[in-house]
Amino acid sequence: MKTWIEIDGRLIDLEAHLSRTRTIVTLGKNSEEAYNVIALDDEELDVFQCQFTRSGEGWKVQNGQWRTDCPKGIHSRLQHACSLCMGCCVNVHPGQPTYGWRLPEKPTLCNGTEIGTEGVDLKDGDVIEVGKRRMIVKLKD
């Protein structure tokens, strides 16, 4: 079963955004501070608003994002060690960047309830609210 997110009348297939190096789908404000797979122009949205991750046969949404603390990695399209500095970044131990959970200023809501970092499993018809946006979860075969 595929999981789609409808945003502003546009359907986004979460599975289509995964790859060998990308195992999560991040959503946040369009910004030069960080790359988000789904980047939206919304001043009320945080750069690190939420992320979608696989959960069993489906998906879950979590408040905030898991990011490397490497300044170059934050700008990277990857959410893991970016290797832009070849593991020699002066801000982290060589080859072992540190990670941290980055929380948004305003919470992510699912069906009107604030979600935490542990996330909630998505079901057909769930309404996710971030900033000024309402997204509807659609499950399709």
More confident residue, 83 or 16: 16
User: What residues have CB less than 8 Å from 134, skipping those under 6 apart?
Assistant: 127, 128
- The model's pTM: 0.81
Q: Which two tokens stand for residue 3?
A: 């999981």
Side-chain-facing half-sphere of 15: CA atoms under 13 Å: 11
Does 116 share its domain with 55? yes
| Residue in the structure block whose two tokens are 């769930």 | 126
Same domain, 92 and 113: no
User: Do 15 and 45 fall within a single domain?
Assistant: yes
Residues 19, 59, single domain; the answer is: yes
Q: Residues 47, 29: contact at Cβ < 8 Å?
A: yes
Give the range of the structural domain holding residue 88, as residue numbers without chain letter.
67-102
Tell whether 31 and 83 lie within a shared domain.
Answer: no
d(CA 31, CA 47): 7
Q: Is 127 helix (H, G, I), strand (E, B) or coil?
A: strand
44-53 per-position pLDDT tens digit:
999 999 999 9
> 95 with 38, same domain?
no
Q: pLDDT at residue 57 above 90?
A: no
Residue 1 pLDDT grade (very low, low, confident, very high; cuts 50, 70, 90): confident
> Are 35 and 94 found together in one domain?
no
Task: Based on the fold, state whether residues 15 and 49 are members of the same structural domain.
Answer: yes
CATH number of the CATH domain containing 117: 2.60.200.20
Domain count, the chain: 2
Q: Could you tell me if 46 and 87 lie in one domain?
A: no
Q: What are phi and psi of 123, to 5 degrees?
A: -125, 160
